[in-house]
Structure 1
Amino acid sequence: MHQLAEPAFAEIEIKKSRFLGQLFPLHSRAEAREQLLKIRAAHPNAVHVCWALVCAGESGLDDDGEPSGTAAKPMYNVLVHKDVTNVLAVVVRYWGGIKLGAGGLTRAYGQAISEAFKIATLVAVESMSEIEIEVGFADESQVRRTLDKYAGEVNHVSYTETAQMQASIKQKDVTAVIAELTDVLKGQVNIRTGDELKLS
């Protein structure tokens, strides 16, 4: 699975219609809405602004007036084929006066996004793991320092007789983080990983 390092753009012309293929890295439907508002404002004379969104739990498609299935679906198929996530694909169409037919539209919209991918920079998505760390209050700062070292993130902390910290870290760093915390805290720490959390 990959995601975009930065936006990418390409333009194709078919029978005098211009298709502007655009790819944007983002992480929510709300971000996608904002981006689409900007694009529509930048292209007031475009006849269609079609889009396909793939991000965690928030995918979506819109043909924006083109015949159903001829615009967003072929764009979405390119995203799936490229194995990308957290991406908004947009094609802005300027009408050229010649009808392309359903097959022509399907090819044009898919091709516009494929062309944008040719210049896009993709980066691998790192798998994250959830861990729960229980320590004495005095050791919380040491846990935070260790997590920072591995670019981990503290999602939640609750306090009872101890500090219970829920954190996200890269899957590949889980073993190293557990070993380091056990060492620096001389065993005075309880750590549960994703699989154990699911069982509890």
Structure 2
Amino acid sequence: MDVPDPAPARYPSTIAAPLEHELVIKKSRFIAQVAPARTTEEAEAVIAAVRRQYWDARHHCVALVIGTHADQQRSSDGGEPSGTAGVPMLEVLRRRELTDLVAVVARYFGGVKLGAGGLVRAYSSAVSEALDAARTVRRTPAVRIAVEVPHTDAGRLQSVLREWADHHEAQIEDVSYASSATLTLLVPPAHLVALDASLAAASAGRLVAVRGETVVMES
């Protein structure tokens, strides 16, 4: 009887693609854009693009989280009262355990003051609702594995390993051909022993999984 592998450790997730969402509260328009950004330079480019697009908005408020472990975090109230915009937006990103993304909210004032509490709710809701519509990209640590296979067995072993990967939260990263075929996989550390056993069974013990560096795998 197979014993299930423990769930792999996880890094903060990110999102797959940019997304825009508009929220209207008491005639004020809150236009939120969330976008992937792996560096502060990419985040700054997104911020600059939003400011150009919505150049006549009264406020441009920002929150960003960068780094595999979410170690770079920044926010700006964009002229709103201190603590009413950027920090609430950043808290949404933190609560959702997200990284490598930037959130920008452009506000067009509708003539009715919302008060500090109203602004906090509006900015956090705008970002939260935008993220609700975004596709989340899950991140886990994985070991890069290389399996060298004779050409005559490459097709069969690729099929076997693809099916194995589908059931073990792994990915086939690459297949290359030279004097032999090399299959490269990304495998969560908890599933390495299972891979060795499956590979041995599929090749009568002839093939070996060569372990390489640990990387971040996205799914």
Unaligned runs of 5+ in 2: 1-11, 150-161, 163-170, 175-184, 215-219
Percent of matched pairs sharing the same residue: 37
2:15 paired residue number: 4
Opposite residue 126 of structure 2, the aligned amino acid is A
Distance 1:188 1:111 in 2: 51
Shift of 1:74: 0.9
Shift of 1:193: 7.2
| Of 37, 47, 62, the match for 2:48 | 37
Opposite residue 90 of structure 1, the aligned amino acid is V
2:33 paired residue number: 22
1:69 aligns with 2:80: no
1:52 paired residue number: 63
Distance 1:190 1:105 in 2: 55
2:128 paired residue number: 114
When residues 173 and 17 of structure 1 are mapped into structure 2, their CA distance, relative to the original with a 3 A threshold, is: same
2:139 paired residue number: 126
When residues 91 and 190 of structure 1 are mapped into structure 2, their CA distance, relative to the original with a 3 A threshold, is: closer
Unaligned runs of 5+ in 1: 134-139, 144-148, 154-167, 195-200
Q: 8 Å contact 1:5–1:25 — kept in the other structure? A: yes
The runs of at least 4 consecutive aligned structure 1 residues that moved more than 3 Å come to: 140-143, 149-153, 172-181, 186-194
Distance 1:75 1:178 in 2: 45
2:152 paired residue number: none
Render the CA deviation track for 1:176-196: whole Å, top value 9, x for unaligned.
677769x9xx799985877xx
1:198 paired residue number: none
Shift of 1:70: 0.4
TM-score, length of structure 1 as denominator length = 0.67
Distance 2:191 2:103 in 1: 32
Opposite residue 89 of structure 2, the aligned amino acid is M
Distance 1:191 1:79 in 2: 34
Distance 2:112 2:44 in 1: 30
Render the CA deviation track for 1:155-174: whole Å, top value 9, x for unaligned.
xxxxxxxxxxxxx9442564
Shift of 1:61: 0.8
TM-score, length of structure 2 as denominator length = 0.62
Opposite residue 22 of structure 1, the aligned amino acid is Q
Q: How many aligned residue pairs are there? A: 172
When residues 192 and 170 of structure 1 are mapped into structure 2, their CA distance, relative to the original with a 3 A threshold, is: closer
